[in-house]
Amino acid sequence: IAEAMERVGRDGVITVEEAKGIDDELEVVEGMQFDRGYLSPYFVTNSEKMTCELENPLLLLTDAKITSLKDLVPVLEQIQQTGRPLVIIADDLEGEALATLVLNKLKGVLNITAVKAPGFGDRKKAMLNDIAILTGATLITDELGLTLEKATLAELGQCSKVVIDKDNTVIVDGKGDPANVEARVNEIKSQMETTSSEYDKEKLQERLAKLSGGVAVIKVGAATETEMKEKKDRVDDALSATKAAVDEGIIIGGGAALIKAGQKVEIDLVDDQLIGAEIILRAISAPMKQIAINAGCDAGVVVDKVMNNDNPNVGFNAATGEYIDMLEAGIVDPLKVARVALLNATSVSSLLLTTEATVADVKEEPTAMPTMPDMSGMGGMPGMM
């Protein structure tokens, strides 16, 4: 996880998948990757890997659907004179246009490939603009009054390399202006802060990673399916904790940070507000108390010893029963986790205190079996001894 974070940065995307073998693997995609492959296998340049690999290509980006080659002829003639390969990323490319490009590729007239634009709807337009900024291209779109017939070399993007397989495209080392890329990154970050949709936030994070960080895939290996599930869950939890730590930093673990912070609080309140503050200061010792109870120790004694220790980093190590410097021992928690937990607990408690009534299920007591009636005075019954 640490290596993945180091490779893709804080804005990168890290996903966890199941490996096919028993060994753990880390796969990092350098550059921008999106889930669209070549439109025809005839564009393949590496038959062994079934990939199309183009060095130092030009990139033509458009949100138009290309069906006729006549729209492309002027710009193709200019590209042919440069001798450089071309990557076309369009809304779609089909019919006569695709067939003619394939034919020119097979004849060696043009070193070319074509890919459908990633995403759908508004996200497709946004992704095309991201690619344009990353590569220094101008998106050919009717909204700007630009057409393919009048496209020039100045409107094409550039990068060091493009690798395309049947499912994915990777653009390596885009030659766009770094200042424009940074501005786009800040724009996406701003959108992430204002959106309330978790789905939109996830998609914005993916775009951010493609522009500024990268994509890392941690493949978790195991011998059995049960071990795989348990191990993958642990990696997911560790990854979430690591991301939270990168976002806001770390604090000493075991609930010690809350207790130490509580000792620094100066209360200048009266009446009900004072009572509320004192309740919170008592409540923040609950995590350490629970850890002590789980370890079979006296919770009050543990909390008292931590509070009275002058070292601000001292906490209780439940595994050994010792009071140690938590930072030196590497026992830490993400600040974000502790902060959000305290905020959520305070929010729920406040809601319960100000609620006039709650709806709850009443637990029904099990009904006792009825006692058998006394049959001693009934006399004998036929057929019974």
Per-block mean pLDDT, blocks of 10 residues, the chain (385 long): 80 78 81 87 89 92 87 88 91 88 88 91 90 92 85 91 89 88 90 88 84 78 88 88 86 92 85 87 92 91 91 91 91 91 90 82 73 57 48
> How high is the pLDDT of residue 344?
93
Secondary element (H or E) of residue 200: helix 198-212
**Are both 135 and 265 inside the same structural domain?**
no
Identity at 72, one-letter amino acid code: L
Same domain, residue pair 48 and 158 = yes
Residue 127 lies in a domain: yes
Amino acid occupying residue 336: K
Q: Give the domain extent around 40.
A: 33-176
**For the domain that residue 123 is a member of, what is the CATH number?**
3.50.7.10
User: Is residue 70 one of the residues assigned to a domain?
Assistant: yes
Closest CA to 346 of 286, 289, 263, 302: 286
Q: What is the pLDDT of residue 368?
A: 62
1 is a domain residue: no
Q: Rounded CA gap, 329 and 294, in Å? A: 20
pLDDT at 131: 93
One domain, residues 169 and 41: yes
- Of 176, 199, 218, the residue that ends a domain is 176
Question: What are residue 183's phi and psi, to 5 degrees?
Answer: -65, -40
Distance CA 213, CA 223 (A): 32
Place of tokens 């980006």: 61
- Rounded Cα distance between 325 and 317, Å, is 9
- Are 161 and 270 in a shared domain? no
Q: Is residue 82 part of a domain?
A: yes
146 lies in the same domain as 277: no
Answer yes or no: are the C-beta atoms of 205 and 247 closer than 8 Å.
Answer: no
Residue 267 lies in a domain: yes
117 part of a folded domain = yes
Q: For residues 169 and 260, state if they share a domain.
A: no
Domain membership of residue 98 (yes or no) is: yes
d(CA 277, CA 283): 10
* Boundary (domain end) residue, out of 118, 152, 176: 176
Q: What is the pTM of this model?
A: 0.59
SS (HEC) of 257-310: HHHHHHHCCCCCCCHHHHHHHHHHHHHCCHHHHHHHHHCCCCHHHHHHHHHCCC
Q: What is the pLDDT of residue 384?
A: 46
| Last residue within a domain, chosen from 154, 176, 198 | 176
For residues 63, 66, 71 and 72, what is the CA-based torsion angle, rounded to 10 degrees?
90
Residues 158 and 291 grouped into a single domain: no
Same domain, 170 and 279: no
Strands (E) across 141-223 are located at: 157-164, 169-174, 215-220
Provide the 3-class DSSP secondary structure of residue 218: strand
Is the separation of the CB atoms in 65 and 124 below 8 Å?
Answer: no
Residues 263 and 153 in one domain: no
Residue type at 36 in one-letter notation: R
Let me know if residue 209 belongs to a domain.
Answer: no
Domains of the chain: total: 2
41 and 170 share one domain: yes
3-state helix, strand, coil in the chain (%, to 5): 45, 20, 35
CATH number for the domain that contains residue 325? 1.10.560.10
Q: Can you give the pLDDT at residue 287?
A: 93
Residues ≥6 apart with Cβ < 8 Å to 320: none
Q: Is the same domain home to 161 and 288?
A: no
